Structure 1
Amino acid sequence: MSPVPESVEVAFIAPRHLAGGGDPAWVTVPLHRACGWSYGQDPLMPRVILTSPDRKALLRLEPDPDGQWWTLHHAPEPDRPAWYASFGARTPVEIIAAFTDALTDPQAGTPTEADPHRPLTAADWRHAGGDKAMTSPDGLARAEHFVNSTTDCWFVTTVLPQGPLWEARFGTHTPPHLIAAFTAALADPTPVPRPTPAHGGSGRGTPLVIGTTQEMPVERVAFALEERMRALVSRRAIPANPCAPQQPPAASNGRSR
């Protein structure tokens, strides 16, 4: 029996739009375990279906060689018609998670209007073909806002010299603050971790990807998802009222309850 390794080699990829999809559990497991989304499962079908606690949102992850693998549909509400968002198979899960984290944030309330262009501008993306389209500094990713009398939608695409890599689509009526959360994560210069080819990574081998490798403790890699879920669960905590009287510490153990 082979000994369990104490460390594993991890690649840190930047820019993150070239990192590849990553582990879908980064999105699906926290939605279920930290945000209370229920799941439907058919053991004969390679798909995951998650439904929000209020039954208004449904996320489907389904391998589709000719279309988007991730699709989120949201039911209409009094102040907003139905909307959808979808993501290609190689859309980095960290960027998708920024979108779903913003959607499930219990303290978001009714967010003010957000501008999805703003994070891109701050990250030195440049306008291309008018004010409604922007491209990344490496010229490989593009965010476009299509607006006319009947449409108000967004498309974000990444294209390598050898062909398209992934596309994200945000239909009309998608809340702008959710798209802004996506573009902020997209433009974030922080590298994202991926397994190296020797440990199951895709190893696309493109010289356009800037990657460094690092030996990481197996325990740290294994518990990254748990740490993410704890952070999401903590969002549900009710902030303390600063005007409330302070309780004295308990005499039995010297700590406040």
Structure 2
Amino acid sequence: MPPAPETVEIDFITPRHLAGGGDPAWITVPLHRACGWSHGNDPLMPRVLLSSPDQKALLRLEPDPDGQWWTLHHAAEPDRPAWYASFGARTPVELLAAVTDALTDPAPAADAPCDKHEALRQAGWSRYFDDGLVSPDNKAYVERLGTPNAPAWFVTVSLGIHQKVWQARFGEHTPAHLVTAFTTALADPRLVPRPHGSLGLPTRDPSIVTRQTTDVHAVHVASALEDRVQSLAARRTARPASPSCPPWSPPKSGRSR
């Protein structure tokens, strides 16, 4: 018999808002290779700067122990003032990918009024104060601040009153479909993969986070990022579903921890 394909152990995590940040390359590599964003070259600085081809958008990834690690700024346009979105270090890259994939879509959805809560309600999130929602595990909160015509959106994940895990912030002029892309990804029930034993999990408490450890063919793990790049690049000529998660999933026989 031929030898079994080499496998690696992958932890599939739920809920995804407590899966840790993941690999930043899931964001930066597709933006550069599939979407044409340019980057600077300053190896002495612990940061990444990516600029859109039209130079209107700038994504900054910079370690900041006291603030947001990811910041997306967009210049003003004739029909919209400048806007921003920012994300904490432990914001899962799958959620951030939903935003950058929607932003770089060559045929974006019309920025019409939409219900940013709909996917969350369908996933069992419940009302939180006047205009917010809380996740079923009471660890994630989505809040709308400001005025009804110009709201800012905050998504906060915490393990207690004084233990914030991450926060995403969308300024009042952020296009509605980008906020909706984020909340839809946040509500997605699919598990997200992380390297086995990843130190990035905010907690390993089995009553809060479920880890399903699965042997995955190494070739699938190695090719996941390249598959994502190719899928996003193909949007210029076709419109396949843009993957915000690797194209492999845990089999039913996986081990839960």
Q: Report the TM-score range of the alignment, normalised by the length of the smaller protein.
A: 0.7 to 0.9
Separation (CA, whole Å) in 2 of partners of 1:83 and 1:55 = 14
Distance 2:113 2:31 in 1: 25
Deviation at 1:201, TM superposition (A): 4.1
* Cα distance change on mapping 1:111 and 1:12 into 2, 3 Å: same
Is this contact kept in 2: 1:37–1:51, CA < 8 A?
A: yes
Matches within 5 A, 1:104-253: 104-108=104-108, 110-130=110-130, 132-148=131-147, 152-161=151-160, 163-197=163-197, 200-202=198-200, 204-207=203-206, 208-237=208-237
Q: CA deviation at 1:150?
A: 8.9
Report how far residue 210 of structure 1 moved: 1.2
* TM-score for the superposition, normalised by structure 1: 0.86
Q: Residues 23 and 93 of structure 1 are in contact (CA less than 8 Å); yes or no, is this contact kept in structure 2? A: yes
Correspondence 1:35-74 to 2 at 5 A? 35-74=35-74
- CA-to-aligned-CA distance 1:150-198 (integer Å, 9 cap, x gap): 952000000013711000000110011100000000010000000111x
Alignment of 1:56-95 (within 5 A): 56-95=56-95
Give the Cα separation in 2 of the matches to 1:52 and 1:141: 31
Q: Whole-Å Cα distance in 2 between the matches of residues 158 and 69 of structure 1?
A: 15
Give 2:19's aligned residue.
Answer: 19
The letter for the 2-side match of 1:137 is: P
**What is the letter of the counterpart of residue 35 of structure 1?**
C
Residues 26-59 of structure 1: per-residue CA shift (max 9 Å, x gap): 0000000000000012111000000000110000
Equivalent residue number for residue 30 of structure 1 = 30
> Which consecutive segments of 4 or more residues in structure 1 shift more than 4 A?
none
Structure 1 CA distance for aligned equivalents of residues 85 and 71 of structure 2: 6
Task: Give the number of aligned pairs.
Answer: 232
Where does residue 243 of structure 2 map in the other structure? none
Match of 1:250 in 2: none
Change (3 A) 1:41 1:124: same
Q: Residues 195 and 201 of structure 1 are in contact (CA less than 8 Å); yes or no, is this contact kept in structure 2?
A: no
Cα distance change on mapping 1:192 and 1:34 into 2, 3 Å:
same
Shift, 1:202, TM fit: 3.2
Superposition TM-score, scaled by structure 2 size: 0.86
Aligned to 1:253: none
| Structure 2 letter corresponding to 1:145 | R
Structure 2 CA distance for partners of 1:202 and 1:152, relative to 1, 3 Å: closer
Q: Distance in 2 between matches of 1:219 and 1:140?
A: 35
Deviation at 1:107, TM superposition (A): 1.0
Contact 2:109 / 2:177 at 8 angstroms: preserved in 1?
Answer: no
Q: Percent identity?
A: 59
How well do the aligned residues superpose, as a CA RMSD in angstroms?
1.7
Unaligned runs of 5+ in 1: 240-257
